[in-house]
Structure 1
Amino acid sequence: MTTFVALDFKTADHGRDSACSVGLIRVEDDRIVQRVHYLIRPPRMHFRFTHIHGIRWQDVADQPGFDERWASIQPILREAAFLAAHNAAFDKGVLHACCDLYSIPRPSQPFVCTVQLARKTWNLRPTKLPNVCDYLGLQLEHHQALSDAEACARIVLAANQSLRQH
């Protein structure tokens, strides 16, 4: 199996460039080899989604912005064949918007969506992250970036194992 990174962003507001948290799980040879969570200071102080993820401006005001965090995030993505996320269009949009805001070249890896993967592999509906985790018996602290990212990594691993068995 190839190397991949599962990731999950939390945003402060409706702007895709408002990442306030990211969880990253690096998988090599079917094993999780790195778990990282970063708080990120978004470009605006206004938080609309604290009720979902619990992160407030006070939690991130002294944290590095995405441009400074990139030096720590980029090496985790290096040589990954793909990036995985649940509802990947959202996380891809956040990653690209944050890169664009700071004129950082976008990562070139394709995204694998674990919503689509779960539907294709197990014909699951509904496919919200808690539904897929319940089906697979995975632990989940929903809306915590590191837990959501690890669940995505484990969904990819379970789907690959399922495909190998058929």
Structure 2
Amino acid sequence: MTTFVALDFETADNGRDSACAIGLVRVEDWQITQRSHYLIRPPRPQMRFTHIHGIRWQDVAGQPSFGDLWETIAPILEGSDFLAAHNASFDKGVLHACCDAFEISRPPQSFVCTVQLARKTWNLRPTKLPDVCQFLGISLEHHQALSDAEACARIVIAANPDQPGKKSVNFKDSLNIC
């Protein structure tokens, strides 16, 4: 049985430790089993990217920090074979920076990058998340963490080589390449 978690972070500023939202979608045996969304109080009150994601300081000022939220997030990741994200190097960097800032052990899972997966599976270009979603008919509210995470989960599911008529894709070829 394949289990993975697709995730997406929104950040407040240019610092990788500035997560202000996370969306997590857990998939077990190729079925979505859990959807979770959390606002996070970033370490600084500067919200440079409100124009992208709509999250303001007043939305997150009273929310838990990443460190306080970790005991809620960690069980969602537990037991997963891999993590998935669109442009995984960004989300992996945010996850690791936030873990490091709170002296939390980094999750051991490798990442599947859905940008690379879409290129290898369907030979798509461009591979921005809205483009891949349009190609696959996936609903998307771009830059809303839960919607982006669910889109990533659905991209991985769509590329599942066990589905009839699907091109065989080796997910290990897409691990940690972003």
- TM normalised by structure 1 equals 0.98
Verify: 1:157 aligned to 2:157, yes or no.
Answer: yes
1:16 is matched with 16
Q: For the residues of structure 2 that align with 1:119 and 1:127, how far apart are their CA atoms?
A: 7
Verify: 1:134 aligned to 2:156, yes or no.
Answer: no
- For residues 40-59 of structure 1, the aligned pairs below 5 Å read 40-59=40-59
Secondary structure of the structure 2 residue equivalent to 1:38: strand
In structure 2, the CA distance between the partners of 1:8 and 1:29, relative to structure 1 (3 Å rule), is: same
Verify: 1:78 aligned to 2:78, yes or no.
Answer: yes
Q: Which has the higher helix share?
A: 1
Deviation string 1:105-145 (CA, Å, 9 cap, x unpaired) is 00000000000000000000000000000000000001100
Secondary structure of the structure 2 residue equivalent to 1:63: coil
Q: In angstroms, what is the RMSD of aligned CA positions?
A: 1.1
8 Å contact kept, 1:121–1:162: no
Percent of aligned pairs sharing the same letter: 74
Q: For the residues of structure 2 that align with 1:20 and 1:144, how far apart are their CA atoms?
A: 11
Q: For the residues of structure 2 that align with 1:149 and 1:164, how far apart are their CA atoms?
A: 25
Deviation string 1:12-43 (CA, Å, 9 cap, x unpaired) is 00000000000000000111000000000000
Q: For the residues of structure 1 that align with 2:7 and 2:121, how far apart are their CA atoms?
A: 20
| Number of aligned residue pairs | 166
2:121 is matched with 121
How far 1:53 sits from its partner (Å)? 0.1
Secondary structure of the structure 1 residue equivalent to 2:26: strand
Q: For the residues of structure 1 that align with 2:112 and 2:29, how far apart are their CA atoms?
A: 17
Query: Structure 2: where are the runs of 5+ without partners?
Result: 168-178
- For residues 54-69 of structure 1, the aligned pairs below 5 Å read 54-69=54-69
Runs of 4+, deviation exceeding 3 Å: 161-164
1:28 is matched with 28
Q: For the residues of structure 1 that align with 2:140 and 2:57, how far apart are their CA atoms?
A: 25
Letter of the structure 1 residue corresponding to residue 59 of structure 2: D
Letter of the structure 2 residue corresponding to residue 42 of structure 1: P
